[in-house]
């Protein structure tokens, strides 16, 4: 009983913030919001005392319509395609780069590594929106020293073009999270018992063999977790495309599925709108994220054998 | 011997070069943010992009920033401080309490709690924002500080860390000895457990504080009033102004991340500890 008392505050808030919303959105996903004419307001004699938008929106039960809409929406699937392509390239690049940097820093080839460890991790302190804002300016040719440098080599790169946009975003995400993942790998590397290295040295292993035969396998658990969290993060990609879309109208309101869900909930740009269809998008995305995570874990397990 | 030494030196030089180039990649945008916040729009296009311009417009940009945000700028920073601190403090306390319950007590639903928290670690939080909006809207809590603070308090990762730390650094014998001395459960928790878990609490606080500060989608959905916006939302609005003074926006960004950078560098060993616990046990 005492145990429950200590558990209760968290459990109650968890219920309010996670469980109830999930149930509510499952229910809402079977309803669609229509801006209906308020009977009383149709007659000017009665007058309208309140003007809140919620009061003229009515919800009606539509069965599986919202899900059918999402599953047949071209905007939804092109968004899904974009985040999948993004994830298929960005996640491996980031994880391999983090692991490589962690192994270099852990290798004791150089003694003073604090400045590197801290410097790599620092971007994680920059909120995603602000990182996207700074990089947006760094991608703008008139403002950016990067364009100046590229210009010395006669290169002219349009970071905002339809072909490059996804990779410009991938760079922002990589910049933000590589150091974070590196620290996770570094912690896992430092937990490897010294006797393993000792044994490898006696067997005459060189540094490369130590790295590939001991270090990489020993951080497998940490790597798996990092990849899983990155996949889940990619599915929900929102901040970077939202900021970039401010100056790149062509990206539209549904460049990623999470953007589409937000703009559907808020209304104005996508039809049908409202929390009903938006809930359906969120639920379909959650199922897709779960499937992706499951596939990844199964592939991992098969590879491990 | 000398050949071996030579390779070792070249390996060392190569490693330093690689690590330094990577360091420039990570730090350059922050350095450039500092430069840009002192430049006028004209200087931004004409001056050397790697150094300060001749005219130093830090003060003018600051005045533009304050003018444009109609005096709300420091209010937004203050809101971020309030939300992050409140969520961090409450979130840490309930996480440690739940972690302690799981680590040291046997109660019905304990196994289920562990399962839910492990699943919660992998939950796509942003996808939950729209469902949260539905519930908070029907409770009439949208556009209030509770719509930000309550969701931000709930951290499965915090409970996970609390569980690991309570398991490893609160000796069961000590709790039992205190019980024999007649101390109440609440007293044991408040006087003994919290003290033993103090370093863990700093780590959990940091994680929740930074996650709250960085959150953008949640305030974007929940808040309407300018007076309630956190700095991330305020800057996003500022960016979309027509023809902005870039230096002023950049200065806003700089001032908006400064508190985080200070926390980061000042408390870095606690980050290391939290990530280590997560990496090794997870």
pLDDT in tens, B107-135: 888 999 899 888 888 888 888 999 999 99
Q: Which residues contact B18 (CB under 8 A, 6 or more apart)?
A: A104
Q: Which residues contact A248 (CB under 8 A, 6 or more apart)?
A: A160, A165
pLDDT score, position A53: 44
Model pLDDT for residues B87-109, shown as the tens digit of each residue: 999 999 999 999 999 999 998 88
In 3D, which of B86, B55, B45, B79 has the Cα closest to residue B246?
B45
Residue B280 clears pLDDT 70, i.e. is over it = no
E strands, chain A, in order: 31-35, 57-61
Model pLDDT for residues A86-123, shown as the tens digit of each residue: 999 999 999 999 999 999 998 877 778 889 999 999 99
pLDDT score, position A133: 92
pLDDT score, position B7: 59
In 3D, which of A254, A250, A278 has the Cα closest to residue A266?
A278
pLDDT score, position B121: 84
Confidence of residue B230 (pLDDT cuts 50, 70, 90): very high
Share of chain A above pLDDT 70, in %: 93
- Long-range contacts at A188-197 (CB < 8 A, ≥ 24 apart): A188/A218, A188/A219, A188/A221, A188/A222, A188/B279, A188/B280, A189/A102, A189/A103, A189/A106, A189/A215, A189/A218, A189/A219, A190/A106, A190/B276, A191/B276, A191/B279, A191/B280, A192/A218
Which member of A131, A144, A236 has the closest CB to residue B126?
A: A236
Distance from the Cα of B139 to chain A's closest Cα (Å) equals 11
- Of B50-54, B111-115, B254-258, where does mean pLDDT reach its minimum? B50-54
Closest CA in chain B for residue A121:
B26
Boundaries of every domain in chain A: 2-63, 71-304
Contact list, A143 vs chain B (CB under 8 Å): 36, 44-45, 246
Q: What are phi and psi of A38, to 5 degrees?
A: -70, 125
pLDDT greater at residue A55 or residue A81: A81
Model pLDDT for residues A191-248, shown as the tens digit of each residue: 888 888 888 888 888 878 888 888 888 888 888 888 988 998 999 999 999 999 988 9
Contact list, A145 vs chain B (CB under 8 Å): 32, 48-50
Confidence of residue A50 (pLDDT cuts 50, 70, 90): very low
Q: What is the mean pLDDT of residues B239-265?
A: 85
Confidence of residue A36 (pLDDT cuts 50, 70, 90): low
pLDDT score, position B1: 41
Rounded distance between C-alpha atoms, residue B282 and residue B280, angstroms: 6
Q: What is the mean pLDDT of residues A246-266?
A: 93
Residue B222 clears pLDDT 50, i.e. is over it = yes
Q: Which residues contact A186 (CB under 8 A, 6 or more apart)?
A: A102, A105, A106, A117
Rounded distance between C-alpha atoms, residue A266 and residue A269, angstroms: 8
Closest CA in chain A for residue B262:
A125
Radius of gyration of chain B (CA): 24
Model pLDDT for residues B7-20, shown as the tens digit of each residue: 578 888 888 999 99
What homologous superfamily does CATH list for A71-304? MetI-like (1.10.3720.10)
B197 lies within 8 A of chain A by CB: no
Asked if B214 and A13 come within 8 Å (Cβ–Cβ), the reply is no
Radius of gyration of chain A (CA): 25
Residues 85..124 of B with a Cβ closer than 8 Å to A: which?
93-95, 97-98, 100-102, 104-110, 113, 116, 120, 122-124
Residues 255..274 of B with a Cβ closer than 8 Å to A: which?
256-257, 260-261, 263-265, 268, 271-272
Q: What are phi and psi of A256, to 5 degrees?
A: -125, 160
Mean of the per-residue pLDDT values for chain A? Answer: 87
Confidence of residue B281 (pLDDT cuts 50, 70, 90): low
pLDDT score, position A46: 43
List Cα–Cα distances, A290 to A96, A104, A152, in angstroms: 23, 34, 47
The structural domains of chain B, ordered by start, are 2-65 (no CATH), 67-281 (1.10.3720.10)
């Amino acid at each position: 009983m005492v145990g429950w008392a200590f558990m209760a505050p968290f459990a109650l808030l968890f219920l309010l913030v996670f469980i109830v919303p999930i149930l509510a959105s499952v229910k809402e996903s079977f309803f669609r919001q229509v801006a209906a004419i308020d009977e009383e307001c149709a007659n000017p004699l009665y007058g309208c005392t309140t003007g809140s938008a919620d009061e003229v929106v009515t919800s009606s039960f539509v069965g599986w319509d919202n899900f059918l809409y999402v599953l047949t929406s071209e905007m939804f699937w092109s968004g899904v395609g974009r985040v999948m392509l993004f994830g298929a390239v960005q996640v491996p690049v980031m994880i391999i780069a983090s692991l490589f940097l962690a192994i270099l820093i852990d290798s004791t080839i150089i003694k003073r590594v604090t400045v590197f460890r801290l410097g790599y991790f620092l971007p994680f302190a920059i909120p995603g929106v602000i990182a996207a804002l700074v990089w947006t300016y760094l991608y703008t040719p008139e403002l950016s020293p990067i364009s100046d440098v590229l210009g010395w080599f006669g290169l002219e790169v349009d970071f905002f073009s339809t072909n490059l946009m996804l990779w410009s975003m991938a760079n922002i995400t990589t910049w933000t999270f590589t150091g974070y993942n590196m620290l996770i790998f570094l912690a896992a590397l430092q937990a490897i018992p010294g006797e393993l290295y000792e044994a490898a040295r006696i067997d005459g292993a060189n540094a490369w063999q130590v790295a590939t035969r001991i270090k990489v396998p020993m951080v497998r658990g940490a790597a798996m977790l990092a990849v899983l969290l990155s996949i889940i993060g990619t599915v929900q990609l929102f901040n970077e495309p939202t900021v970039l879309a401010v100056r790149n109208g062509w990206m539209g309101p549904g460049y990623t599925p999470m953007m589409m869900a937000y703009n559907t909930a808020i209304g104005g740009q996508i039809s049908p709108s409202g929390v009903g269809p938006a809930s359906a998008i969120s639920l379909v995305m959650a199922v897709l994220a779960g499937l992706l995570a499951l596939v990844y874990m199964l592939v991992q397990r098969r590879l491990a054998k | 011997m000398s050949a071996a030494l030579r390779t070792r030196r070249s390996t060392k030089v190569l490693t330093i070069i690689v690590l330094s180039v990577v360091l420039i990649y990570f730090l350059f945008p922050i350095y450039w943010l500092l430069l840009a916040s002192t430049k006028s729009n004209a200087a931004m296009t004409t001056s050397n992009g790697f150094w300060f311009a001749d005219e130093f417009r830090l003060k003018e940009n600051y005045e533009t920033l304050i003018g444009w945000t109609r005096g709300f700028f420091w209010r937004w920073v203050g809101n971020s401080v309030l939300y992050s601190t409140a969520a961090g403090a409450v979130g840490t306390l309930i996480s440690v309490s739940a972690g302690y319950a799981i680590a040291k007590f046997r109660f019905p639903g304990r196994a289920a709690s562990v399962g839910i928290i492990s699943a919660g670690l992998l939950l796509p939080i942003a996808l939950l924002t729209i469902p949260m909006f539905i519930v908070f809207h029907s409770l009439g809590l949208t556009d209030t500080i509770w719509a930000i603070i309550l969701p931000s308090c709930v951290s499965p990762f915090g409970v996970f860390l609390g569980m690991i730390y309570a398991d490893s650094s609160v000796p069961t014998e000590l709790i039992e000895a205190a019980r024999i001395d007649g101390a109440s459960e609440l007293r044991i928790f408040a006087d003994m457990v919290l003290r033993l878990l103090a370093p863990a609490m700093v780590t959990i606080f940091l994680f929740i504080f930074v996650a709250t500060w960085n959150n953008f989608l949640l305030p974007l959905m929940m808040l309407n009033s300018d007076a309630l916006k956190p700095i991330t939302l305020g800057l996003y609005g500022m960016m979309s102004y027509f023809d902005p003074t870039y230096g002023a926006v950049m200065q806003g960004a700089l001032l908006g991340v400064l508190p985080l950078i200070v926390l980061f560098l000042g408390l870095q060993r606690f980050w290391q500890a939290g990530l280590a616990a997560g990496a090794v046990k997870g």
